[in-house]
Structure 1
Amino acid sequence: MQLQYTPYTAPVFLSAVVGLGVGAFALKHRERPGAFPLAVFLIGASFWSFAEGMNLATVPLESKFFWTRIETVFSCVIALAWLTLVLEYTGNDEWVTPRTIALLLIEPVVVVGATVLRPALLWTEVSTVETAGFVAFESVTGLLYDVHVIYSYLLVLLGGALLLRVILFAEGVYRTQATALLIAMFIPLVGNALYVFGYLPPGIDPTTVGFLISGIIVAGTILRGQLLELVPVARHLARDEILENMEDRVIVLDDNQRIADINPAAAELLDRSEAAAIGERLETVLPDLAALLDDEAGTHVQTELSLEGEEGARYYNVRVSPLRRARGAVAGTLISLRDVTDKRQQRQRLEVLNRLLRHNLRNEMNVVAGNAELVERQLADPDLRERLDRITETATRITDQSDKVGQVSRTFDEDGTVMVDLGEAVRTEVRDARDRYPAAEITVDVSTDLDIEVDPAIAIALDELIANAVQHNDTDHPTVTVRVREADDFAALEVADNGPGIDPHELAVLEEGEETALEHGSGVGLWVVYWTVEQFGGRLEFENDDSGCTVTALLPDADEEDDPGTEQSDGIDGFRQALNPSDIGFSADD
C-alpha cells in the first residue's frame, strides 16, 4: 500500500489516542448519568479520527474512499451519542426511551446501509486531488449525504440549546460543566461545517483535530470540574422530590399571574388536579391571595392570610418571592402557604391560659400572704408563727416567680434585639446585686468589652444567675465571681460560686428540653436563663466540682462577621435552594 506523510496526520492520530483514553475512563464509570453516552461519543470520535488519519496517510483512491466510508459510519454515532449525553446530563432522560432511540436510529441505519451497499447515494463522484503537497480525497456529495449532515447538525444544535439553558440559569460548577461540554462539541462542529461547505481546500478537514481539543476539554472537566461526579440531574430530581412531597402549598406564577407550576398540596387546596390548575389565573382560584400580590407586586412578602374552605377558615403563613431573569426583570412569583391554623389556635390558648394563670396566681397568693400576716399578729405560739412565716415566704416566692415569667414573656414579645456592651451590663447588674445581697462577696472580672446583639432579657438572665448563686449557697460566706471573656466566635459570660452546685436532675430537665411527670425542675429560674440565651443563638454550659458551680452562657459575638452560607433554610427557602430555575425559565431573586 502506497503511503504518504502530511502535517495533519500526527495530530489526527493523537486525537484518536486521546479520545480513546478519555472514552475508556467514562466507560469505566458508565453507571453515572451521562457517562455511557459520553464514552460512546468519545470512542466514536476516536475511530473517526483514526479513519481520517488513514485517509490522509494512504494515496490510492480506493483506500481513501474506503476510509471515507468508515468515517461516515462513525459520524452516525457521534450526533446521537451527543444528544443522549446532554439529555441525561440535564435531567431530561425521560426522553431517552427505547422508542425514542429507535426513531432516532432510523436515519443512521439508512446511512450506514447506503455506505456499505449503495455508496453512490452519498457520493455521486469521487477522485483524488493534489493539494498542499499531498494527495487528498475529493468528492461530489449526493442528496442522502446532505440529509445526513443536516440531521446530525440538528441533533447537535438541540443538545447545545439544552446546555445553553443550563449555562444561562444554573450557577457554579454546573455552569462550568455545561460550558465545557458546549465548547467541546462546537469546536469540531465548526471545523466540520467549514470543511463540508467548501471553505477549506480538499483534504483539510479540521473536524478530527477539533475532537482532540474536545477530548482535552472533557478530560480537564472530569478532573477539575467534577464531571461524571456532580451533574444537574441530581438537583433536578431533588427539586421534583421536594416539590412533590412538601406539606407547604407551593405555587409558581408566570409574569401574568397564571399558575405555571404547583405541587400536590397546593392542588388539594384549590380542589383540583395539578394539570387542571396549571394555566389558571390566580385571581380566579385564590382572589384574596391575588389581591395581596397586587398590593406588593415585585417585592418579598411574608404575612398571614385567612382562606375560607370546606372546614371553615384556615390560616396560612404566606411567603412570596419574585423570580427574576438573569438581568433582573421580574419573570414570575414563587408562593408558599404554610397552614398555621392549629399552631395559631394553640398559641392563642396558651396566651390566654398564661395571662389567666399568672393573674389569678398572683392575686390568690397575695390573699394567702395577707391573711397569714393577719393571723400571725394574733398568735403567741412560736411554732405556729414559724409555720405562718413559711406560708408567707412560699406565697411570696410563687408571686415572684409569676412576676418573673410575666416579665420574660413581655420581653420576648418585643420585636428586635439591641446592641449591648456586655462588660458594662455585667458591672451594672453586679452593683445592683451587691445592694440586694450585702452578706455575699460578689466580684466582677471583665477582660474585654464585647458588643453583642441580644434581647433586653439578658439583664434578667444575668440577675437570675447571680441570685441563684447567692440564694442556694449553703456556706457561711457566699462568694460569686462574674467574668466576661472571648471564646472563639462567642462572648463567654461566666458566673461561678462556692456553693453546692446545681442538682444533676435540674440539668437533666434542661438537656431534655421539657418537663415530664417523672422529672421536673424545682423552679423557673434556670428556664428563664435557658430561654433567654437560646433566644439569640447562644448556649449554656454547667460545671460542678468540689469548689462550687460555674455556669457559662456563650453569646454570639457581634464583632464576628456573619457567614451567609450558614443560614438555615425552611419551607419556601429550602424549596428555592433545590429548585432548578432552568426547569421553568426563572431564577429566584434572593
Structure 2
Amino acid sequence: MAPVPLPAAASFAAAGGTLLLIRYLWRYRDKPGADWFLASLGFQTVWSVAYGVALLTFAEPVRWALEVLSWAAMAGTGVYFLAFALAYTGRGTPVDRWWRAIAAFPLLIGLIGATNPLHGLAWTDFTVVPVAGMAGATYDMRLWAVVAATAGVSLITVGSLVLFDTVVSYGPLYRREAVAVGLSTIPPVVAVFGWLYGAGPIPEVNLATAAFVPHVALDAYAFVGSDMFEFHPATRRAGERAAIDDLGAPVVIVDERRRVVTLNGAAEAAFGVEKEAALTRPLGALLSEERADPTGVDPIGGDDVVTVRDGGRRRVYAVTATPLSDAGGTHVGHTVVFQDVTDERRREQRLDVLNRVLRHNLRNDVTVVQGFTEAAAERVDDDEIQSMLDRAASKATDLAALGEKARTVERVVDSDPRSERVAVADLLAEVRDEHVDGSGDATVTVDAADVAVTTDPAVLQVVVGALLENALEHAGAAPTVELSAERRDGAVAVVVADDGPGVPDHELAVLTAGAESALEHGSGLGLWVADWGATALGGDLSIDAAGGTTATVAVPDGGRDR
C-alpha cells in the first residue's frame, strides 16, 4: 500500500488536532465569541478532511465536488474567525447585527461553486493533475473569485490583528499567548496566498490545510494552556465602556491638543451639547459661557474648578485631568472628569456665613445682653424680676459658651494636623485642671501612668475636654469622674467614666445615626465635638451608658509600638 503523501497526512493530522481542540473548548460555549470560534474550527476540520481526501482522489467529478466543499469551508473558517475575534474582544455589535449574513456566507460560496457549471462565474477549465503522487487541480479562476478568496483569507488576518492588539493590552499576563495567537494564522494565510497567486512550491496544490498543523498547535497553547476563555477581554472592554458611559459624572476624552475625542452622556447633558457636535472642538470652547469662544477655560492647564452656564443654570465643577498614554508610553491626550460641586460649594458658603455670624455677631451681642442683664439684676429689688433676669443671664452665658464650642469645632475640623509624642497622664491632668473648679463638689481622678501616644495633642485635649465637660454637667450634683488611659492592640484607649445616670438614649441615637433631624437631635455640641475630634485623630468614639457613662476614645499610636 502506497504511503499517504505528506500534505494529505498533514491535512488529516490538522483535522484530528482541531477536533480535539473543539472537544476541549466545548465547555466554554457560553463565553463571548466561543460559538463563533467553535464554528470556525468546525469549518477548519471540514476543510482539512475534504482537501486531504481530495489530494487522494483522481476521479474528476469527485475531486471537483471536494474542491467546492473546500472553498465553502475556507469561507466559513475565515468569516467565522473574524466574528469570533470581534465578539471575544468586546466588539460584537456588528456581529450581533449581521449574524444572519455572516452565518450564510459559506453557504453562499458553496452554492456559487456547486452551480458553477451553469454560469461559470467561479472558474473554468477544471482539470485534475497528478503531482508528487497527489491529485492536484488546475483551473482558471475568475477575477471576482480571486478577490473573494483574497478577502476571505484577509478576514483571518484581520481577526488575528484584533485579537493580538486586545490580548496584548492585558500586559504580561497574556503576552506569550498573544504572540501565539498572532503567529498561529500566518502559516495557513501564507499558504493560501501562495496558492492563489501561483507562488507556492506546488501550484496545483493548496497547502493551507497542511499548514493548519502549526496553527492548531499554537491555538492549543493559547486557548488551552492559559485558559484564555476564562479571562476574556470582553469583560474589560465592557467595563471600560461602562466606566465612561454609565458614570454619573461628566467625562470628556481629549487628544494632546485639547480637542474633544469623545464624551459620555452625562457630559452632553451637563454642557448642553450633542456628541457629534462636540467632537474635534477645543475643550475650552465646550466649557466656555459663549460657545463660539475658541479658547475658554483650560481645566488641564491648571484650572481645577470651572463654572459652566447653560440655559440659565450655573454649575460649578471640580476637574480632574489624567494623562493618557499609548502602549509605547507616548502621551496621546487626557481623561477629564468633572465632579459637580455646586451644592457642596453652596453649603460651604452658607456654613461660612453662619459660622462668621456665630463667632462674631452672636458672641458680641450675647456678651452685651449678658452684661446688661447682670447690671439690671443688681438694680432691682423685686425678687421675681431678679429671678427672671438671673435666668436670662444664665441663658446668655450658655449661648456664649455655645459660641465658644462652635469655635472649638472649627479648630478641630479645619486645623492642620500635627503629631508629637505626649504623656497621656500630663494631658489628662491639664484637661482636668482646665475644667474643674477646685472649690466645686466634683471629684476627678487621673490614672494613665506610663502611657504615651504620638498624635495631635491639641485635638485630643479638645476631645477629652468635651467628654469631661459633658460628664460634669450631666452626672449629678457631686459627680465622680475618672480619666484613664491604657494600651489596646497598638492603640491608646482614653476613657472618661462617671457615676451619673448615663447619656440619654436619644443623644446616643443621634450620634450613632450620624445626623440630626427635627425629631431626633442632641442638646448641644459636646458629643459631636468629641466624635469629630476622634475621627480627625483617625480613631473611634464609643459610649457605654449602662450604670453611668463610660466614653472611650481609641487613638491610633502614630509612634513606635511600645
Fold shared by both chains (TM-score > 0.5): yes
- In the TM superposition, residue 208 of structure 1 has moved relative to its aligned partner by 3.8
Q: What is the aligned length?
A: 534
Relative to structure 1, is the Cα distance of residues 224 and 81 closer, same or farther in structure 2, using a 3 angstrom cutoff? closer
- State the distance in 2 between where 1:285 and 1:236 align: 24
CA contact (8 A) 1:4 1:59 kept: no
- State the distance in 1 between where 2:223 and 2:559 align: 46
Map of 1:531-542 to 2, 5 A cutoff? 531-535=532-536, 538-542=539-543
Map of 1:181-220 to 2, 5 A cutoff? 183-184=180-181, 186-194=183-191, 197=194, 205-220=210-225
CA contact (8 A) 1:91 1:236 kept: no
Letter in 1 for 2:397: T
Letter in 1 for 2:419: M
- In the TM superposition, residue 483 of structure 1 has moved relative to its aligned partner by 3.1
- In the TM superposition, residue 432 of structure 1 has moved relative to its aligned partner by 0.6
> In the alignment, which residue of structure 2 is the partner of 1:93?
92
Map of 1:125-204 to 2, 5 A cutoff? 125-130=127-132, 135-140=133-138, 142-143=140-141, 146-167=146-167, 170-171=169-170, 180=177, 183-184=180-181, 186-194=183-191, 197=194
Q: Which moved more, 1:349-358 or 1:335-344?
A: 335-344
CA contact (8 A) 2:164 2:181 kept: no
Give the unaligned 5+ runs of structure 1: 561-590
Q: Which moved more, 1:87-96 or 1:466-475?
A: 466-475
CA contact (8 A) 2:80 2:102 kept: no
Map of 1:260-271 to 2, 5 A cutoff? 260-268=261-269, 270-271=271-272
Relative to structure 1, is the Cα distance of residues 61 and 312 closer, same or farther in structure 2, using a 3 angstrom cutoff? closer
What TM-score results when the alignment is normalised by the length of structure 2?
Answer: 0.78
Cα distance per residue 1:308-347 (max 9 Å; x no partner): 5552754333333332333443322333344444443343
Q: Which moved more, 1:193-202 or 1:90-99?
A: 193-202
> In the alignment, which residue of structure 2 is the partner of 1:16?
18
The structure number with the bigger radius of gyration is 2
1:234 to 233, 238, 254: 238
- In the TM superposition, residue 129 of structure 1 has moved relative to its aligned partner by 3.8
- State the distance in 2 between where 1:554 and 1:136 align: 86
> In the alignment, which residue of structure 1 is the partner of 2:446?
442
Letter in 2 for 1:217: A
> In the alignment, which residue of structure 2 is the partner of 1:431?
429
- State the distance in 1 between where 2:303 and 2:230 align: 38
> In the alignment, which residue of structure 1 is the partner of 2:79?
80
Map of 1:361-380 to 2, 5 A cutoff? 361-374=362-375, 377=378
Map of 1:312-461 to 2, 5 A cutoff? 314-374=315-375, 377=378, 392-414=393-415, 416-421=416-421, 424=422, 426-436=424-434, 437=436, 439-444=443-448, 449=453, 451=454, 457-461=459-463
SS of the counterpart of 2:495? strand
Give the unaligned 5+ runs of structure 2: none
For the aligned residues, what is the CA RMSD? 4.3
Q: Which moved more, 1:95-104 or 1:508-517?
A: 95-104
Cα distance per residue 1:338-364 (max 9 Å; x no partner): 444444334323321222134333234
- Structure with higher RCO (Cα < 8 A, 6+ apart): 1
- State the distance in 2 between where 1:240 and 1:162 align: 22
> In the alignment, which residue of structure 1 is the partner of 2:507?
506
SS of the counterpart of 2:304? strand
- State the distance in 2 between where 1:150 and 1:532 align: 74
- State the distance in 2 between where 1:554 and 1:236 align: 40
- State the distance in 1 between where 2:25 and 2:212 align: 18
Letter in 2 for 1:542: I
Letter in 2 for 1:37: W
CA contact (8 A) 1:497 1:549 kept: yes
- State the distance in 1 between where 2:12 and 2:157 align: 30
Q: Which moved more, 1:47-56 or 1:357-366?
A: 47-56
CA contact (8 A) 2:260 2:281 kept: yes
Letter in 2 for 1:412: V
Relative to structure 1, is the Cα distance of residues 186 and 149 closer, same or farther in structure 2, using a 3 angstrom cutoff? farther
Q: Which moved more, 1:329-338 or 1:309-318?
A: 309-318
Relative to structure 1, is the Cα distance of residues 446 and 102 closer, same or farther in structure 2, using a 3 angstrom cutoff? farther
- In the TM superposition, residue 463 of structure 1 has moved relative to its aligned partner by 2.7
> In the alignment, which residue of structure 2 is the partner of 1:481?
484
